[in-house]
Structure 1
Amino acid sequence: MLGKKRLFLLCSTAMLLCDGVHAQSLTTKPSTASESTKKHSRITEGSVLGPAAPQVEEISVSGSKRSADGTTNTTPGGGLMPHQTAPRSQSGVTRDFIAKQAPTGNVSSMIANLPGVTFASQDPLGVTGDTLTMRGFNESQIGYLFEGAPLADPINYEPYTSMLVDTENLASVTVSQGSPDLNAPLFNATGGEISATALNPSHHSGGFISAMGGTHSANKEFLRLETGDMGQSGVRGFVSFSHLSNNNWRGPGGLKRYHIDAKFIKEWGEDNSITAVFGYNKQEQTSWVMPTAEQWARFKSSVYYSPKFTPGDPSYYKLNFSGFNALDVVLPMHFTLSDDVHLNVTPYFVHQHGPGVGGENIPASGGYNGTLQYGNLNQPYVMGNTLTTASVDPWDQSSSAINSSVSWTHGNNNVTFGYWYSWTTHQEVETFTPVNFQGQAANLYGKYPIFVPQTGAILSGYNLNFKQQVNTLFIADTLKLLDNKLTLSAGFRAAMVWRSGTNNVYGADPYKTVGNYFEPLPQFAASYQMTPHDQVYVNATTSFRAPESVESYSQLFDPNSPVAVEQPGVLKSEYDISEEIGFRHTGRINVQASLFNANMTNHQVTSSGYIPFTNSLVAEPINIGGQTSRGAQIEVGLRPWHHFSPYVSAQYLHATIDNNVAAAAMNAAGRSVIDYLPTTGRHAVDSPSFTAALGLAYDDGHFFGNFDVRYQGKMYSTFMNDESIPGYVISDLTAGYRFDHVGPLKGPKLQLNLVNLGNNIYRSIPASSTGTAVTQKGVYGNTVVAGAPVYQVGGNFAALFSASTGF
């Protein structure tokens, strides 16, 4: 069935591309340069492509006033329903909503109310441990773009959204729930795409400053300085700095974060521009303990790392933390080569590094370095034969890439051709450092590791060196007919991914693993503008995801075990074919509704699991075969009416596993074998059947407020559906006041954010998935042993007060 769908999409794409070139004869007269720019923008609307060029122009707002925080109070639904034209399910948020949220939030937390989105954070501030799913796809299956560049981890696909941009600089976020843009530089977006943009620099010099404080000793200080137009150079820009810190709401420890954003724009001639976006993040946070269902029933939120050190106890909180550090540079460029030809080039560079640190007891002698047993490590602070250590993983990776496209508009037709190249390197060497009897580690950044005396090698569970090269070509054609009411768009993308992973730990088998992936990815979309306010659309898209995580390609070892504790995963790419049909209405009342269907092969469920004997979490992809997801979503938003803007969204999802899932089992003789669990037709994990959100915004230019309530339905955490988390409700409230200008202060603002009003203490989402939570017989009569999933715990109540002003 999937093979027939692929063939149908390939044929449809080829036919439309041919028709599009033939349709060039419809042109009757040339356009001026300025008209060409406008026409180029119009003709790519409603296509399988994303934005054709960086949006560097300032937004003109008539009949309204832009506040110092960027709000205009013009977006329907209080900023939750901006105008959309894409021929697919697509939602978004603007400054009208973003500016009224807690300043500690991030890209993911801003879109929690949108249809199909399930957002779960491990703290009430939305700073750490956030996880997101859409239509049952987790965040590793969703493409994240910032200013057109994929700044998520290119191997593990973790977005680390708290590192990307301060929300004070976040202009908008657009969510495509079902499919990515054809020209998006992504190869993991089987579950859709999330695209964020930063504020454009002001044409006037000045700035913005804010300060926040609240529960859990939370505080944030932010300053943005604007250059304004720099003479006649056509250059303007801003630079911002922020500091954020807070204590964990459960258990000891907390977070410290330092962040810099910068954006500069150079414009000249007819629609030519170069934009430079820069980001720097330095962040360190105490890790969260994720409880099992049994631990949650017994201890609730009291599951956390030890606040005091006891010799021999590796669960001391100062031995369990993570660093998230990043440097991002993105250079979107747009050039008008002629009236009808436009060139877009976006080079970017991303450097991310740890460390990840976890406490662990290891044998002082007689343990293992890979498969080699070592003698006495000759280390101090030994109790019996046990040495308490900090396992340090100073992971480090860099990506350099360029995404380019050229488009030719001729009459009612636009043809675009593009190429994306990316090169990534990743190094990850686990080391161990001894901990003294006061709980202090010799070094927590991997500079002075323990060496094995008889070999001189570093004691390590994994010494990984990973390389990745991506080459992607695409061509797309968009044809406008019937006075531009009908838009037909098709494209074809060829994605080629090469990966090579080595493990230099003694006895690693295989030492080196190579993966090559080639996927043809056709897309087709059609939309019809029935009236100026009503649009219908259909689409058929394909997407794929290369296997997730470095660990998919290498074994993991531990000094406590003579054999590998983790084995490489199944190295097959996930492939998805999706269809949608939808309707939009814009006006005083705005409505978007769609029906969707998605069929996947080699569906890889991402499960975060603790490495045996350790406090270290790793991503564990589990290939469950086929999955079918079908459902409907809707959102309704009202333009401001007597200063009120209500919003509601909902989704129904029916996601099922298409086959029996393989599982490790024991036969009657006590030997390990592979059996299958009877999972065909069972509900997919991480896929709530019903989600909904309700919002009400008020803004009269001075007084403003937001109230949001979200319902998250029941979610299964096992493929046999024998363990789950119940549905829950979360509500947030914002209230504030803007003053008129006071001397040099432009629109001072006071704001109160109340998060999780009911102080609901709940498991927010499964962090891992297992076959079954109850030991039972497999399809062939062998005993499948139960596994215990672990869960993220949502944050409790928090009150945050902030004061800000432009100047």
Structure 2
Amino acid sequence: MRTKLYAGVAFAALMIPVSAFAQSTGTIEAEGQSEEVVVTGQAGPREIGGVQIPDQPKARAVLTQEFIARQQPGQSILETINFVPGVNFTNNDPYGTSGGNLRIRGFSGDRVSVTFDGIPLNDSGNYSVYSNQMLDPELIEQANVNFGATDVDSPTASASGGTVNYRSLMPTDEMSAIAVYTRGTYDFNRVFGMINTGELTKFGTKAWIAASNETYEQFRGYGELSKQQFNAKIYQPIGGNGDFIALAGHYNRNRNSSYSNPTSANIRTLLGTSVVPATATDSNPFTLDLSNEQYDQVFNNRDSGVTGPYDQFCSPPSANVAFGNAAPQIDATSCANSSLTAINPSDTGVMRLNSRFELTDSLLFTFDGGYSFTRANGGGSTVFNESGVPVGTVGGVPGDNNYQGGRLTGGVDINGDGDTLDRVRAYYPSNTRTQRFVAIAGLRYQIDPNNLVRVAYTWDRARHRQTGEASLLNSIGRPYDVFGFDGETDRPVLDAQGNVLNKRNRLSYAILHQVSGEYRGKFFDNRLNVNLGVRAPFFRRNLSNFCYTIAGQSSDAYCTSETPAQVGINPVRGQYGAPYQNRVETYSAVLPNVGFTFDLVDRLSLFASYAKGFSAPKTDNLYSFGATRVSTGAYIQPSFDLQPEKTDSFDVGLRYNSPIFTAQAGAWYIYYKNRIISSQVPEEGSTNLINVDRNVGAVKSYGFDGLVSVRPVPQLSLYAFGSYIKTELQDDLIDLRNNTVIPLRGKEVVETPQWTYGGRAQLDLEPFQFGIEAKHTGDRWVTDVNDFAVAGYTLVNADIRFGLTDIGLERTFLQFNATNLLKERFFGSLSTQQGFSNNPRLNLGSPRTFTGSIHFEF
């Protein structure tokens, strides 16, 4: 068996912690308690096949680089933790660049805190997690999951459903280099390289720098996906007691073509009502379970009007006319389903600082800091009417979704052909720019070897700028820039006053101040370990909306050059909410975080914990405009009345740790109140349906999960896991459209399988190593009223590694990976809806893929 050394970021090379499993340097220090231990399987947390079970009060699991490295090169770390109980991640393509959906114990990804070297990654506005922007897997030392609970100093205002934390590799003492090339199905090409500098100075300064590039074609439809990533880290030890400063940088660039996925109605059109019925009810629900032949018929269909992908080519009539052509050019039916505007570009970066300073023998100071930025949009297009004559009505906004002259008198020649007779398609994405600063400072005081206390303070400030400006398409229907106009490039679409047409224009600040404290004690000859903690977040959103708020619209708005009098005289737009600046909403909570472990006998321990979670309303929740009458004559709950979501999470279980066998089994219960959802209501005096965000009650969930790792002989490691989740909504929903009750009480949470289970086996017969893994995901509800579900599925992956030591290349090997080896047909991410009649959209799952890699290391 090889000996492995695991060095966490909180200690220098001479001081290695027992458990570097938490997110902040302060928590790593508290859990490790400065014990000088080499993790070899004889002390500290055991590792078998890259799986560790830390002996902490919370239910937690850890995957190390040993496990991560066997997965598909370039894969998102969120796909890798799919092999942790309680986690369900649906990847939108086989290589991870198209994103995916995360759920932990029934909580969606926007209710789970994800951190990178202690720095939060969730979007500051909507808390979303973007799995395609994660660190290259070769650079991740370990990833850990807290099920339904946070650490006491977790820097978050949104973690009502648990945490995912991953940490980057430490630079090595010796100079080395790694180069990996991977080639695979769908023209997948990836290159990764890393250089470790070794010790650069007599003071022990060391660093690494890494870069990667990958491109591939969609597995269905037209378009290319690409990702470039650059990373670097420098580490400076200070003295010989474990103090250090580490500075790291990460930049990620994605250019993605989006997949077109069918709705339930699309599938019905193709396969008929005998396969997909026209109606379903909660008393007679429908489960979509297609045969292989039926699924392949949907997958292989190329009619974009049925279930096919986006159109590959596009030629808008308005972009292909000469000046002086007096004939109307109509784009309404051209380029509406184009792959050229169905894109999802993003540029992101994260700078991280981690540090540790021993002030006295008993007093320790830690500081983590970060700066991050994001620029991204989700593509899209719309049609503008040059003449200013409304053409239809959609969502209360007249005329082909948007129109020109209704905002100002007169028309504008958008396409430059000399008339104002055309209906011109334009690129119309919703752009977001974010800049964020984070600081986490902690003090730990070691009272004696068995008792310590610590306090921490977190400051997190994010500036969130959101616009939706229109710009022209070229002659083949492609935007001139993937980010559109976005305040920078040329070719905007202007109104009669020379202003860029815009569907939203708003600025918000998300500011978190948080204090936390914790006591850790050891009793009865260290058999009992007690953690008593509390954190108190004070969260503020400062909101400015420079456009008029449309009732029921939390994203798009009415942006205009009209005067308030011109807007107010219109019977529809006069009801819109006026622009405003510096509206402030504040939220706070006191969140206990306690637990214990007790050694029952040698290697067997009992653990239990309680943690209170908290998730403040999102930006979109607060930008919605609810103070309006609906057809029942009642006023909708104003968005500023929304209360934070809160959870009470309880865990109890047993752990066993030995050199050849580790296991954890536990039961849990979560009570989740003030759940926020969006629902549709009719605006008074109109047939328009509007979306309203509001609190709708509580959810109870409970379950059990377990994992076991065993190494019966040095050459073989086995890992298995399983999870059962039962969720139950506690309240019905009042449908304000007709003042009726929507029967949600007793229903289960969408997109949450009751059963998930799987495992991995790895055999090491040098120079060959073989691995095979599988996971079963049970049936999932697609609708809130539980009248529509999709069938469960089982995915099998395999990997083979062949070392080249025999030909003199000691650290070089070939690796082959297969995902979805048995070619399972399944639906992945689900666009959930209230009911079957709302026509949910279903993501087609990734087919079988193969890759081959060569890994050089010097």
What TM-score comes out, normalization by structure 1 length? 0.84
Aligned equivalent of 1:753, options 817, 832, 836: 817
Structure 2 partner of 1:196: 166
Aligned to 1:378: 413
What is the match of residue 428 of structure 1?
Answer: 466
Q: Which residue of 2 aligns with 1:649?
A: 721
**Does residue 797 of the first structure (1) align with residue 848 of the second (2)?**
yes
CA distance in 2, matches of 1:570, 1:126: 38
Cα pair distance change 1:42/1:290, threshold 3 Å: closer
Cα separation, 2, equivalents of 1:622 and 1:712: 31
| 1:361 aligned residue (375, 383, 405) | 383
Which residue number in structure 1 is paired with residue 826 of structure 2?
Answer: 762
1:469-548 equivalent positions in 2, closer than 5 A: 469-505=511-547, 506=559, 509=577, 511-512=579-580, 513-548=583-618
Look up the equivalent residue of 1:435 and give its one-letter code. L
Q: Which amino acid aligns with 1:282?
A: R
- Equivalent residue, structure 2, for 1:26: none
Give aligned-pair identity as a percent.
Answer: 21
- How much has 1:606 moved relative to structure 2? 8.5
Change (3 A) 1:328 1:222: same
Q: Distance in 2 between matches of 1:451 and 1:683?
A: 46
Structure 2 partner of 1:614: none
Q: 1:62 to 1:500 in 2, by over 3 A?
A: closer
Look up the equivalent residue of 1:511 and give its one-letter code: P
User: Which residue number corresponds to residue 425 of structure 2?
Assistant: 388
Tell me, in whole angstroms, the C-alpha distance in 2 between the residues paired with 1:396 and 1:432.
16
Q: CA 1:183 to 1:633, structure 2 compared with 1: closer, same or farther past 3 Å? A: same
Give yes or no for contact 2:371–2:435 (8 Å, CA) kept in 1.
yes
Q: Secondary structure at the match of 2:533?
A: strand
In structure 2, C-alpha distance between the alignment counterparts of 1:420 and 1:580, rounded to whole Å: 26
Structure 1 residue 403 corresponds to structure 2 residue 426: no
CA distance in 2, matches of 1:219, 1:51: 37
What is residue 4 of structure 1 aligned with on the other side? none
Indicate yes or no: 2:768 matched with 1:686: no
| In structure 1, distance between residues paired with 2:53 and 2:766 | 22
What residue is the counterpart of 1:232 in the other structure? 202
1:135-186 deviation digits (Å, cap 9, x = unpaired): 1111111110111111232222222233231111111101111201011111
Select the structure with the greater relative contact order (CA < 8 A; seq sep ≥ 6): 1
Distance 1:233 1:747 in 2: 29
Shift of 1:607: 11
Offset at 1:401? 1.5
Measure, in 2, the Cα distance between the counterparts of 1:698 and 1:551.
50
Matches within 5 A, 1:324-339: 324-339=346-361
Shift of 1:57: 12
The question of whether the paired residues in 2 share the 8 Å contact of 1:45 and 1:86 is answered with no
Distance 1:622 1:686 in 2: 21
2:328 matches 1:264: no
Q: Deviation of residue 110 (structure 1)?
A: 1.1
Which residue does the alignment assign to 1:282?
253
Q: Residues 63 and 333 of structure 1: is their aligned pair in 2 closer, same or farther, counting only changes over 3 Å?
A: closer
Deviation at 1:503, TM superposition (A): 2.0
Residues 87, 539 of structure 1: 8 Å contact kept? yes
Q: Deviations over 1:681-708 (max 9, x none)?
A: 1112122111111211112342112111
Residue 792 to residue 748, structure 1, CA distance change in 2 (3 Å): same
Q: In the alignment, which residue of structure 2 is the partner of 1:782?
A: none
1:652 to partner: Cα distance:
0.9
Answer yes or no: is the 8 Å Cα contact 2:585–2:640 preserved in 1.
no
Structure 1 Cα separation of the partners of residues 609 and 31 of structure 2? 25
Q: Alignment partner of 2:347: what SS?
A: strand
Q: Aligned pair 1:771/2:834, yes or no? A: yes
Does the C-alpha gap of structure 1 residues 746 and 394 become closer, same or farther in structure 2, counting only changes over 3 Å? farther
| Secondary structure class of the residue paired with 2:705 | strand
Counterpart-to-counterpart distance in 2, 1:514 and 1:218: 47
Among 128, 139, 142, the alignment partner of 1:158 is 128
How far did 1:622 drift? 6.6
User: Which residue identity does 1:164 align to in structure 2?
Assistant: M
Conserved 8 A contact 1:369-1:460: no
Identify the match of residue 293 of structure 1 among 240, 264, 273: 264
Separation (CA, whole Å) in 2 of partners of 1:458 and 1:45: 47
Task: Please state how far the C-alpha of 1:392 moved relative to its aligned partner.
Answer: 3.0
Task: Tell me which residue corresponds to 2:771.
Answer: 706
Distance in 2, Cα, partners of 1:135 & 1:204:
42
Mapped partners of 2:86, 2:595: distance in 1: 21
**2:349 matches 1:349:** no
Is the Cα contact below 8 Å between 2:96 and 2:131 reproduced in 1? no
Q: Which residue of 2 aligns with 1:730?
A: 795
Which residue matches 2:674? 602
Secondary structure of residue in 1 paired with 2:67: helix
CA distance 1:114–1:621, change in 2 (3 Å)? farther
Shift of 1:408: 0.5
CA contact (8 A) 2:24 2:118 kept: no
Structure 2's unaligned 5+ residue stretches are 1-10, 271-296, 302-307, 317-333, 389-398, 548-558, 560-566, 568-575, 627-637, 681-690
**Aligned partners of 1:106 and 1:162 also within 8 Å:** yes
Aligned-pair CA distance for 1:380:
1.4
Decide whether aligned partners of structure 1 residues 738 and 620 sit closer, same or farther in structure 2, where only a CA change above 3 A counts. farther
What is the CA distance between 1:365 and its match in structure 2?
Answer: 3.2
Tell me, what secondary structure is at the counterpart of 2:174?
coil
Instruction: For residues 385-410 of structure 1, give each alpha carbon's deviation from its aligned partner in whole angstroms, at most 9, with x where no partner exists.
Output: 42111113332101011001101011
Q: Does 1:50 align with 2:22?
A: no
Aligned to 2:120, the other structure's residue is in SS state coil
The 5 Å alignment of 1:440-455 reads: 440-445=478-483, 446=485, 447-448=489-490, 450-455=492-497
Aligned residue number for residue 657 of structure 2:
586
Distance of 1:381 and 1:569 partners within structure 2: 44
Aligned-residue offset at 1:304: 2.1
**In structure 1, C-alpha distance between the alignment counterparts of 2:24 and 2:236, rounded to whole Å:** 28
Which residue in the other structure is 2:509 paired with? 467
Structure 2 partner of 1:121: 91
Tell me the SS of whatever aligns to 1:182. Answer: coil
Q: CA RMSD in A?
A: 3.1
Report the AA paired with residue 704 of structure 1: Q
CA distance in 1, matches of 2:517, 2:29: 13
Residues paired across the two proteins, number: 721
Partner residue in 1 for 2:283: none
CA distance in 2, matches of 1:45, 1:453: 53
1:787 aligns with 2:838: yes
Q: 1:47 to 1:322 in 2, by over 3 A?
A: closer
In the alignment, the residues of structure 1 paired with residue 377 and residue 22 of structure 2 have an alpha-carbon distance, to the nearest angstrom, of: 43
The one-letter amino acid of 1:678's match is P
Q: Which residue of 1 aligns with 2:5?
A: none
Letter in 2 for 1:75: E
Q: CA deviation at 1:627?
A: 0.3
In structure 1, list runs of 5 or more residues that go unmatched: 1-33, 65-72, 557-566, 609-618, 667-673, 774-785
Q: 1:482 to 1:214 in 2, by over 3 A?
A: same
Give the structure 2 partner of residue 23 of structure 1: none
- Once the two structures are superposed, what CA deviation does each residue of 1:283-304 show, in whole Å capped at 9, x if it has no partner? 1101123432222453633432
User: Please, which of 558, 576, 589 is the counterpart of residue 647 of structure 2?
Assistant: 576
Could you tell me whether the CA contact under 8 Å between 1:653 and 1:688 is conserved in 2? yes
CA contact (8 A) 1:48 1:490 kept: no
- Counterpart check, 1:695 vs 2:760: yes
Counterpart CA distance in 1 for 2:100 and 2:478 is 29
Task: Give the AA of the match of 2:648.
Answer: I
Distance (Å, rounded) in 1 between the aligned partners of 2:201 and 2:806? 27
Q: Which digits, 9 at most, give the CA deviation of each residue in 1:687-735, with x for residues without a partner? A: 2111111211112342112111111111112121001111111111111
Q: CA deviation at 1:763?
A: 1.1
